[in-house]
Structure formats: structure tokens, C-alpha cells
Homo-oligomer: A and B are copies of this chain.
């Protein structure tokens, strides 16, 4: 490995002159500067960022902690995070927790030892207390997608409003009996569910419990809960699925039962995953600005790191919007 010393020796100058040439060229006399730069090229000198990090006390690295990398929302958030980080010279280390608080804790500790400058995290369920500890130690940290601890910066979406608007949209299309397929009892599903309830109430529609199914997680969950709904035989003309994956499972169950989407049953998803547009019919959904959320979280974190002090925690709430495709029929 070529070091500053090697360059210095070869040029007959001191290490500090080489260092200066690289970090602040104007502070070095021209003839030396040229010679140094030339030697740097000749020897193909590359900075050792580990040494630099040790010396400077910062690594220009941020950690992005996500539940897993297979579920399609997370790579989108990741892309957003990386985009901003890259523009500002930060490297991002990605790790996944399998949505397990214990693993999350281990990962965070490991990365702290590696001296990452800050964390962006999609917190595992029930990992609130551990996050609070980090915050106490003044570790820069931003939550994204899920806000487990309101006293820590966060970039989220108004799930309640999203659920409310989704339901209102179905109602506006003339649907009166709207089933709900909700994900596991998690932070954001809860908000979407409550939005659904409120919209029904505000429109003086009956809340029909048999039409509400929880724990419809992912494609499989949506599929099975939809089958159950169909088997039970209560009447409904539309389904609000609180995730796109769930919606896709529901469509599968409906199609297999010999019914048509949207002619017999309308489906509305949530998330706007890429795959929603790959289906026939294209999935109508509530678009979640996952890319922007990642970008924005990255922006916020890097700001905190660069200010070098604790800022007043801030929650950025992004807007959802309805993306109309072909799975919702107009009943009016």
C-alpha cells in the first residue's frame, strides 16, 4: 500500500506537505505542489480513509437499517437514502433486522463500533426503548416510514389520512359496503385502519365487523383472508387492502373464485409498489412516496451530522395520493 510517507520520500518533502497538497493545494508553493501531484499519480497513491476517519473522528458513513431487503418498499426507500447520501459524499451501509428488535440492537451496536456518523432506521416493532437510548447518547438518528418514538426525528406518511382518503374515494365511486383487509397489527396499518373507520362514520355508513379482517399480511395473508371473506358470504362491492401485496393476494383469491375485478369486486391497495402496475388489471392504489421519504430522511440526517449538535426533533409528514388504475369500478 502506498502511503503519504512514500510520496513524501520520493519527492523529498515532508509528509505534511503532501497532506496539505491534497487537502488544500493553494497552501503549498507551486513547484512543490506540481511535483507532489505528479508523484501521487505516478505511485497511484490512494488515501487511507480508515486512518483519516480515526484522526478526524468521523467516517462519512451512515447506516441504513431496514427490516428486510426483499419486500419491495424497502429497496425504494434505500434508493432515496443513497441518492442524497451520495451527493454529499457519504457512504451508506445497509443492514436488515428481520423486523426483530433484538437483531436490530445487535446491528446498531456493531455499527456504532464502526463509528458510523448516524443512523436512518425503519424501526423494528417494539424497538422504541432502544432507540431512546441512542438518542440519549446524542447519536444522530432519523426514523423513516415508521415512527416508533415521537421524540426522535422522523419522515413518515399520514397513514390515517391515507386510509381515510382511500375509503372516501371508494365511497365517492358509489361503494357502500367496503371490506377491509388489514396487515398485521403494526404502527402504520393501525393508522390506515382508523382512517377507514372514520371515513365510514363521516359518511354515515355502517361499520360491518365481519367485513373487517386483520392480519392479512403480504400476498399470502391477503389471499387467505379474501378466501375467508368470500366463504363467509357477506355482501360487499369493494375492498380496501392496506398494502399492495395484500391487494394482490386478494385479487388472486377473487379470480380463483370465478369473480372479476373490478366488475364484481373493486380493489384498492396502498403503497404503489412497482408490481401493482404489472398486473392486469392495473392496481389502483394509494401512492406512498417511498423514494422521497428516503431522500428526505437522508437529507435530515446529514444535516444533523453536519450541524454537529442536537436539533429539535422534527417529524416530516409526506402526502399520499390516489393513483387510479383499473381495479376500482364506478358504481354511480
Contact = CB atoms under 8 A, between A and B. Distances in A.
Interface of A: 46-51, 53-54, 59, 61, 68-70, 72, 75-76, 78-79, 82, 91-96, 109-115, 219, 245, 248-249, 251-252, 255-256, 274-275, 277-280
A70 B274 contact: yes
Contacts of A249: 278
Of A47, A94, A249, chain B has the most CB atoms within 10 Å of the CB of A94
Contact of A113 (B46, B69, B114): B46
17 contacts: A47-B113, A48-B54, A48-B113, A50-B50, A50-B114, A50-B115, A51-B54, A54-B54, A61-B114, A69-B69, A70-B274, A82-B95, A91-B111, A91-B114, A94-B94, A219-B277, A256-B280
The 9 lowest CB-CB distance pairs between A and B, nearest first, are: A69-B75, A49-B113, A94-B94, A255-B280, A49-B114, A50-B115, A50-B54, A219-B278, A248-B278
B46 A109 contact: yes
Oligomer copy total: 2
A50 B78 CA distance: 25
Contacts of A112: 46
A118 to B, nearest CB: 15
Contact of A275 (B54, B59, B111, B278): B278
Nearest to A60: B114
Contacts of A79: 68-70
A91 B65 CA distance: 13
A251 B114 CA distance: 48
A216 to B, nearest CB: 14
Given A93-B91, A110-B91, A280-B255, A50 B59 contact: yes
Contacts of A110: 91
Contacts of A109: 46
Contact of A96 (B68, B82, B114, B115): B82
Contacts of A46: 109, 112-113
A58 B131 CA distance: 30
A48 B113 CA distance: 5
Given A48-B113, A72-B72, A91-B111, 15 more contacts: A46-B113, A48-B54, A50-B54, A50-B59, A50-B115, A69-B69, A69-B79, A70-B75, A70-B79, A82-B96, A91-B93, A93-B93, A248-B278, A252-B280, A256-B280
